[in-house]
Amino acid sequence: MREMKQMFPTEWYEFVLTQLDFHHLSEKPSALLEEGIRDSSLRDLYIQGLTSIYYAFFGMENSSPSSAWLFRAYLGGIPWSISLDWLTGNPELFQLALKAFRYTFKLMVDKASLGPVEDFKELLNYLDEYDNDWYIGLVSDSEWQQAVLQEKPYLFSLGHDPNMGVYTGRVLTLQEQLVQIGKLNAEAVRGQWANLSWELLYATNDDEERYSIQAHPVLLRNLTVQAADPPLGYPIYSSVPLHVPLY
């Protein structure tokens, strides 16, 4: 237990307790907070639970994980152990632990580029930002697709290039995309289709550079001619053949 307590400082535990909302309870929030901080049994349960999760991920050996191990763990491929069997027996807890590991990995990347975290409050701001503005996971996850539909500002994932032997990080940022929208006069389009019919059916012009397929930037002639009904046009989409009775 002593080694476990050294791994998890009580200062962070007490800081987390101060962030909890006790106002919906009948007792005074300040009294509940002080009682929680003084309750050594509750602290020991907290340490035992987190230690069990830690050993499920990192094992009993006190060694630094390799980059390959970190990548596999990020994917969820944690080496088997008895502790892992216990953790995966509770799927919700396992997903929370995996989410915490991925948040920790992203925090490690941010610390390497932005500098160390100064205090617990800054750490909490990082975690809140990850939870609200990021999806940190895998491109193949269904939650990734949901995050795209929910318009999450940022998406983060890891990858591996076996040819170059390097690990890659991928960050997608939600941005506004300018799109140009135009409207064509219906008579102008029908006029081009009529000219197309006259040129091909009556004038029987089979020249590859005939007038009806010459580009026109204002009328978008290439697109409108292509959208004509077959066999004169070649639209990118047409319905299945329809049976129309003649009587």
Residues 80 and 163 in one domain: yes
CA–CA separation, 16 vs 10, rounded Å?
Answer: 10
pLDDT tens track for 27-73:
676 777 788 788 888 888 888 888 888 888 887 776 788 888 889 99
In a domain, 232, yes or no: no
pLDDT at residue number 126: 92
pLDDT at residue number 211: 67
Residues 205 and 144 in one domain: no
Tokens of 53: 């999760």
Number of domains into which the chain is organized: 2
Residues 168 and 197 in one domain: no
What range defines the domain where residue 199 resides?
A: 186-226
Residue 79: in which H helix or E strand, if any?
none
Give the three-state DSSP class for 60: coil
pLDDT tens per residue across all 247 residues of the chain = 566 667 777 788 888 888 877 666 666 767 777 887 888 888 888 888 888 888 888 877 767 888 888 899 999 888 888 888 888 888 999 999 999 999 999 999 988 888 888 888 899 999 999 999 999 999 988 999 999 999 999 999 998 888 888 998 899 999 988 888 888 889 988 988 888 888 888 888 777 666 666 777 788 887 888 888 877 877 776 677 888 887 7
Residues 134 and 213 in one domain: no
Tell me the whole-structure pTM to 2 decimals.
0.68
Residues 163 and 193 in one domain: no
Please tell me what DSSP assigns to residue 153.
S
Residues contacting 84, CB < 8 A, separation 6+: 56, 78
